[in-house]
Chains A and B, each alone.
Chain A
Amino acid sequence: MIAEIGAFATALTLALCLAQGALGLAASTRDSRMSALVAVSQAGAALSLLGFACLTWLFVVSDFSVAVVAANSHVDKPMVYKIAGTWGNHEGSMLMWCLVSAVFGAILASARGGQDAKLWSRAVGVQGFVTAGAIIYTLFLSNPFARLDPAPMQGSGLNPLLQDPALAAHPPMLYLGYVGLSIPFSLAIAALIEGRADQAWAKALRPWTLAAWTFLTIGIGLGSYWAYYELGWGGWWFWDPVENASFMPWLIAAALVHSAIVTERRGSLAGWTILLAIMGFGLALLGTFLVRSGVLTSVHAFAIDPRRGIAVLVLMFIALGVGFGLYAARAQKLAQPSGFAAVSRESMLVWNNYGLAVAAAVVLIGTLYPLLVEAAGGGLISVGPPFFNMTVVPLMGAVLLLLPLAPLLTWRIGDMRAAFTRLAPAAALAIATLIGALILSQWRVMPAIGLALGAWLIAGGLTYIWVRYRRGEGAGWAKFAALPLAVWSMSAAHIGAGVLTLGAIAETAFRMERAVILSPNESVEFADRRITLLEVGNVEGPNYSAARANFRVEQAGVVRPLSAERRFYPTSDMPTSEVGILPSMTGDLYIALGEAVREQPGAWSVRLYKNPLVQLIFWGMILMSLGGALSLWSLARRRGRNP
């Protein structure tokens, strides 16, 4: 019964979304029509919430007569993973996509602010059709409410790798980001239909872009943290196609966050901002396609059904076709009210956008290239980390090199010499870091440049806070408190990028690893520590059996225990690894248990890693997300003050 109510509520949402689309695109400025539009979108969001709540309930009570629940849940699973199971599968995650899209549409409809009535109405209408497209796909090609007859007595459980808190929260965050990009898309289409993209339009666009970027940052951060502690090889980013699928929209969202500032503050770059908004949503759809179609076979792609993939592709071509078609027809009409010199904040943001957009394009080509070669009959090739590290990394480095300059230049015409003068201490610190790193690393040039870049970004961010502090009013600490929130948010995000750079470079270039074979009570010296394997025992978990190795780690007289496991799930033929990590600010000691050695009974292969500064990667991502969140708060406060 609950499943039928859910399906019915979702079907009703579809009807309401189509009404929202038609009503919105008609763009009547009569009050009754406008309030009807708001009411329809809110009702759609409420019904879609009801539909999602029904599915969640089916997972909570483990109703195995519903196919999705039977395939992805189990009565013995902890409650939190039963709930997370709602979106931990293809069908449920698509329903979540619809829910987020409908709710965002209702928020867009309810918060008109100072937007032009027709433009606002058309954006709400486009969003209605976006949600409708997602619901049609969900109900007809991946219905989460489909029944199973006869119902099995027990569900088949969730992929053991996915039973993890970070991975339970990872999909909702990514979806909030992906679907968050649908609102800038709707606003962009509305602007093209109206033939105008003014500052009020950009003002409406900014919070959505920021929110989408922030959610994508959190989602990617959770995914990479999970990869670090769960996959058992010390890495956190592998340029996996599925990682790239979320990285491309992130890059475009980052570009859009910056170009929308230019459009809001100066009215310039409106056409480019619109183009980015269309591309951002296109890449979000592409990301959904890549992950959901199984076209790229990787650990993440757990749904394999070509019909579904083709349907997402059709939706993507409709969205991009409408978007680019309208853009080609209307972009020339968009006004460019104010110019800027080659040295100006606008100009720096253009370079930021240049770097981020080219990087996204390179990632796109690298990700799709093996498919293209295969389709053209060229056989199977792999495009992996060596390609991306050689191309995308230097490009991002160039973007980051320019970053500290932008906030110190004024709009329209900037003074590069003054900016350089203010940044002199930061530059000195970066050069000192470069020299120090060169000497300590015995002339490894690339990592040294990377570390210097990290120092440059952090010092540059602090310099901007200092400059604004000196310019502020009041005295002492009151001056800090009086700084606008926007200064803190921007600095947090930029310093976060620097912290992330430091961590990523240190981890990639200076990681120490050692594979050893240890018998019980045998010790090994590694990274100034003495590591002893105490014993390896069998442990029975709720739905797995494991070999657990206990270690003793001695460093400078301090002894600490650490254990690592290798788990075998009867449902899966590949063992998973539970690594042991001793975290610290200077670096993590990371132990992964390998295989039992065949020719040496009782001995195990053990992989030891010392990952220097690896925690900075995740702290950098946290700082960046915090910057995004603070910036949203600052926009909300500003809107509260002068709506």
Chain B
Amino acid sequence: MTNHWIDIANSDCILIMGSNAAENHPISFRWVTKAQLAGTPVIHVDPRFTRTSAKADIYAPIRSGTDIAFLGGMIKYIIDNNKYFKEYIANYTNGAFIVGDKFSFKDGLFSGYDAEKRKYDQSTWAFKMEANGMPAVDKTLEDPRCVFQLLKTHYARYDLDTVSSITGTPKDDLLKVYETYAATGVPDKAGTIMYAMGWTQHTVGVQNIRCMAIIQLLLGNMGAAGGGVNALRGESNVQGSTDHGLLFHILPGYLPTPAASLQTLAEYNKKYTPTSNDPLSANWWQNRPKYVASLLKSMYGDAATPENEFCYSWLPKVEDGKTYSWLDLFDSMYQKQFSGFLCWGQNPACSGANADKNRDAMANLDWMVVVNLFENETASFWKGPGVDPKQIKTEVFFLPCAAYMEKEGSITNSGRWGQWRYKAQEPPGEALPDGDIIIELFNEIRALYKEDKEATFPDPVLNLKWDYISNGKFDAHSVAKAINGYFTKDVTIQDKQYKKGDLVPSFALLQDDGSTSSGNWLYCQSYTADGNNMARREKDDPTGLGLYSKWSWCWPVNRRIIYNRASVDLKGNPWNPKKPVIQWVVEDGKGKWTGDVPDGGWPPLQNADGTANDKSKLPFIMKPAGVASIFGNGAKDGPFPEHYEPLECPVEKNPLSAQLTNPVAAVYGTARDIIKTCDPRFPFVGTTYRVTEHWQTGVLTRWLPWLLEAEPQLFVEMSEQLARMKGINNGDMAIVESPRGKLEAVAIVTKRLQPFTVLGQEVHLVGLPWHYGWTWPPDGGDSANLLTPAVGDPNTRIPETKAFMVNVSKKEV
């Protein structure tokens, strides 16, 4: 989230699309309802009428997988009806940038496409550069090659008739949504978007979100209270686990994983440290070398020196251009490439797309370690449905871990708040906190490497800093301090002295010479000389906007709304004076920002008399150009979002272009990867989702009697029309089948699902929750991911589990 949960109450229009917030983030509705009571319209766009739709002022149905068509139509509406915020676009986005001559878009393909490699040459999307090394701009937005004009041309094709024929959304509903949301394009209003996996889990996932980001920029909604782009993240600490780099492509703090071609730290820094010739660009990532050096110091302590490039060579290097994502991981496991598997607090036998492929893959391992609270389908895959344990050689170690109230530590919510949790009881039996398991396991591994003088490359194993134990137990405070970071020697910075061992007060003080350590620069300030800021419980709210700046702590540097310098005009006055996130106040001739922590303390772009202030910086400080990207030339599938059908879809043509599906989507080729488009055996669109009462694969919630009682079994929701056609009655057992798997589910026949009219044809959609699995309860059903395809977005490789094709029939008894 660029903003945070409470801030939703500040919104002038709430669009819930790609999420079912009332069911999956129920407490968000505390703030949605508050806004609604104050007159804010709430819009829900979703394939199903859900508990969210039931509370919305406007509900619009949409066929799953067609969000870019829907949103592209909104972009066209905003431009055609002059609803955009021109001053904001011209000054705070790349809307005024001139795109280079090599860029083109023809019939669904952008320039630079290599059909053989299924890849774009992104260099053809570069901006036209001036002699001074800065992009050419036209702030009138009238140059036909400026981003704004190209955007206008790109979405000219997305007229109401075409959009409606793709999405199946009635034209009246499209218009109602467009009009209501576009009304936030005036300076003093902000609309917000609440999205989740309904947008990400598509082969166009990144572009779904890019499309909405473009809308937010056209309307000037970024940085403002009640605005922003807000991902409703689905796990209590998925923000923190991402921040801390438990992913193949990033180290902690969003530092790219080093690749083989970057043999030295100098090469790494050169590649990943952007430069800008614009004196108004803060270009914050110019600090990256400080963050990398500090990370390596925190990992390798005294062993990391400037002379050895802080042990950079010890970091594992990925192959250039190779992806090691979830889908790749299980694809390679299926192809017998691994011997060992650590599965910590996850249940891939149910949570992964094409789950049966994952279940099969685990049989190819020598050993695996599963850490969890309850029995689950991954740990017990060797005795699952249709599996003969005697044929499965994989050794499995099940390590029972503590529940969250049985240990101490912090987690980071969707609004980036790091919040401290306390221990309320001992874990049951011999269960241990995960931290203790990690520490003890590595101690055992390290002991073996100490003993074995012939061990392979022992240096990083033997030298990893590993002193996080107090009284024989994992000490979360000790790690939290290491993540924040220390001064490693006595230093003086801007006349202030810091001693070796002092906690670094803020990431602005981190250094690239080894004089500081920080496990994650983004968390620098979370645990300082003032104490554990994540444990703060003060409830001051001086702005009245619900920032609660002294409750817990949020990254970066406790800034509650990021990009907040875009919430003010060029002179530092809030676009919306009633809800000022920050404001430039001049007292006794001296100016300062009040309100939230600003995105840098530089003065506004203009002085009070309208002259430019050369000490200022542009608001989007993480972007090298200092402005936000309407034209996103870093995405792998194009600088503008374009509608493509899901890889499995119910239509044979795309009325917008000759390109039916995303030309660079990630696909896999094992015998288990079967994709069927327009196959009469699988005529219905399938989608998956969650309900309030369960969480993810149900790995916890299926074992809680109160929740299981409320949602006891796998179900499949379908329209009355489809049920009639298939002779299925409400409550019957139905069979749902995809090219990859088959499930039995209780039919919920409901008016809340309606067929869509797509290109003149009736298209039915059915949906199932993915909470269930065969271990518990009896008759609970199995995972809906047995049906979903392991195909991925080209940027993130997130699987397309929200739109695929199935058949439905009545189970004969």
* Chains A and B form a bound pair: no
